[in-house]
Amino acid sequence: MGKPLSKSQTAATLAEKVEISKKQAVLVLDTLAEMAYKNAKNSFTFPGVGKLVLVNRKARMGRNPKTGESIKIPAKKVVKFRVAKAAKDAILGA
């Protein structure tokens, strides 16, 4: 398994494919990330890749692994990413 692409490598590849400057490609990536952050509360879909959704987790009982005592874990909101079927099929094969 290779190393993941860095932001600058991703921007350079995007700039080359779409024939724009690297600066414009970085702006596109930053704008996309900003949109995802602002709209995640209502769910943000990145077509062909997946969807960011806000999920409410219920309160539950857990255990302190060091002492073994039971602790109450409070309810909270978490952000989850659901991978699109097209992305799963492209990566794993149908």
Say what the pLDDT of residue 2 is: 82
- Name the band, by pLDDT with cuts 50, 70 and 90, for residue 59: very high
Q: All domains of the chain, ordered by start, with CATH? A: 1-39 (no CATH), 43-94 (4.10.520.10)
pTM of the full predicted structure? Answer: 0.74
What sign does the dihedral 46-78-54-90 (CA atoms) show? positive
The three-class DSSP label of residue 58 is coil
- Per-residue pLDDT, averaged over 46-74, amounts to 94
The three-class DSSP label of residue 63 is strand
Give a three-class secondary structure readout of 6-37: CHHHHHHHHHHHHCCCHHHHHHHHHHHHHHHH
- Name the band, by pLDDT with cuts 50, 70 and 90, for residue 93: confident
- Per-residue pLDDT, averaged over 33-56, amounts to 92
